[in-house]
Amino acid sequence: DALVPFGPASRSGLLKRGDVLIDVDGVNVYRKPVVVVGPLLLGENGSTVRLALDRYTPEGYCRRILVVLERSLPQGGTPASTPGSSPAPPRSSLLHPSKSPGSAAPEAASSPRP
């Protein structure tokens, strides 16, 4: 529901609170549990992942946002963990914007929220 504070995804400014994750690398993940979505976000440090997100405006319009992000370790270079949890696996689930051009390309059309 929220981005990791100070993580690469939140630092990128491309993902916002309230965005709805629709697709990870072409796999529909809408309303899928974290146990399904999590492994799709994991990957080798430096690899890329393509996300499709729905972003709603205050007026109720939906805009599909397409983002290519590069996986990286959190700031500081060590996997994130929460108190009382096991250390994170060596693969990174934290993301930062890809260095490739056009890393965020919203679609031209918006539609009203159903």
Quick: pLDDT tens for 5-55.
766 677 778 888 889 999 999 999 999 998 999 899 888 888 998 999 999
Distance in Å from the first CA to the final CA of the chain = 21
What phi and psi values does residue 104 have, to the nearest 5 degrees?
A: -130, 120
Mean pLDDT of the chain: 72
* Comparison of pLDDT for 69 and 8, the residue scoring more: 69
E strands present in the chain? 20-24, 27-28, 48-56, 61-71, 95-97, 104-112
Question: Is the pLDDT at 72 greater than 70, yes or no?
Answer: yes
Q: Are 79 and 90 in contact (CB under 8 A)?
A: yes
